[in-house]
Amino acid sequence: MPSSPITDEPVVQVRDLQMSYGPRAVLTGVDLDVHRGEVVCLLGPNGAGKTTTIEILEGFRLPSAGTVRVLGGDPATGDDAWRARIGVVLQSWRDHPRWTPRRLLSYLGGYYAPYATPDHPRPYEVDWLLTTVGLTDGADRKIATLSGGQRRRLDVAVGVIGRPELLFLDEPTAGFDPEARRDFHDLVHRLSDLEGTSILLTTHDLGEAERLADRILILNEGRIVADGSPDALARQVAGRAEVRWTCAGEVFVHATDEPVPFVRELLAQHDDISDLEVRRADLEDTYLAMVHRSESTPRSPELVEVTR
């Protein structure tokens, strides 16, 4: 398998992926692509099968049926050279408690060095990576003594030390404080924009998905039920805007496809309008509407007119 193929083939290509645990079908026909350099966010309710999907793509789990191509190869038979090109951040990694982050990263980095090419040096330089993930303070402490957030920063560093072309992140910011979360988002942007790393991540944090993702996939009831940019998905669900205002001490809400003329007319008719706000569906509205739409009891995403 070549180290850096120049091709337009998606870095991840999945067709009709199915996975059952015993009699329980979790994935019933997943189709998805990740293109080179994209940041794709996989969303879905608890138990939807996000981790299962990621583990199949990583080659850690064998699917029941379907076609899976990752960096041009089948993860089930990926060799060391293939594995060196992917990075993995699992939901939890508890190991090497007596090592220091610096030692662990230097050690793991050694595995990737033989797979370096002139175009793609490997691994990342350890000091640079420790700084980049915000772990300089804990770099020389025993891993067992790190805080949960520092531990998670180390997980991310372990996942990317080999300078992966494709990075899988399973709930990478679970347990992060707001500063660590912001640092992590900067890191994802840096890897994607400057290094061209393709990234597939799962999260339950919709704000994070909106901030990071070029494209969002929603997995529900065994299939991908939505695929698009955060904006495109929001437009599909709720083209209507919600206009909210206060008049004579009363709050009004009105849903409209044409908020500008509506607001113009409102202001022309009343001179005591206050707290005027125009709101479009955010990713949370979109996500909930898409998930419910794909379930047996569809719920209308329409905004209803109310006064209170």
Ligand X SMILES: Nc1ncnc2c1ncn2[C@@H]1O[C@H](COP(=O)(O)OP(=O)(O)OP(=O)(O)O)[C@@H](O)[C@H]1O
Beta bridge partners of 168: 88, 200
Query: Which residues between 50 and 79 bind ligand X (CB under 6 A)?
Result: 50-52
Query: Which residues between 205 and 244 bind ligand X (CB under 6 A)?
Result: none
48/135 with CB nearer ligand X? 48
47/178 with CB nearer ligand X? 47
205/282 with CB nearer ligand X? 205
Minimal distance in Å, beta carbon 63 to ligand X? 12
46/269 with CB nearer ligand X? 46
Minimal distance in Å, beta carbon 221 to ligand X? 11
**H or E segment and range at residue 39:** strand 39-43
Residue burial 264-299, b: 16+ Cβ < 10 Å; e: rest: eebeeeeeeeeeeeeeebebebbbebbbebbeeeee
Task: Provide the mask over 106-145, with x wherever binding to ligand X is found by CB under 6 A and - wherever it is not.
Answer: ----------------------------------------
- Cα→Cα distances 156→103, 165, 291, Å: 15, 15, 29
Minimal distance in Å, beta carbon 236 to ligand X? 22
Minimal distance in Å, beta carbon 281 to ligand X? 23
Which residues 6+ apart lie within 8 Å of 61 measured at CB?
Answer: 19, 52, 55
Token pair, residue 118, equals 């002139």
Contact residue for ligand X among 21, 140, 231, 258 (CB under 6 A) = 21
Beta carbons of 154 and 135 less than 8 angstroms apart = yes
Minimal distance in Å, beta carbon 62 to ligand X? 12
Which amino acid appears at position 279 of this protein? R
Task: Provide the mask over 164-203, with x wherever binding to ligand X is found by CB under 6 A and - wherever it is not.
Answer: ----------------------------------------
Token pair, residue 53, equals 């999907």
Contact residue for ligand X among 12, 26, 158, 241 (CB under 6 A) = 26
104/213 with CB nearer ligand X? 213
Site size with ligand X, rule: CB under 6 A: 10
Q: How far apart are CA 40 and CA 209, in angstroms?
A: 9
60/252 with CB nearer ligand X? 60
Minimal distance in Å, beta carbon 6 to ligand X? 34
Minimal distance in Å, beta carbon 15 to ligand X? 19
Beta carbons of 176 and 152 less than 8 angstroms apart = yes
Query: Which residues between 36 and 55 bind ligand X (CB under 6 A)?
Result: 44, 46-52
22/249 with CB nearer ligand X? 22
Minimal distance in Å, beta carbon 172 to ligand X? 13
Other beta carbons within 10 Å of 150: 20
**Burial (CB count within 10 angstroms: exposed 0-12, middle 13-18, buried 19+), residue 132:** buried
DSSP state letters, 218-282: EEETTEEEEEE-HHHHHHHH---EEEEEEETTEEEEEEES-HHHHHHHHHHH-S-EEEEEEE---
Query: H helices then E strands: how many in the chain?
Result: 10, 13
**Which positions lie near ligand X, rule CB under 6 A?**
21, 26, 44, 46-52
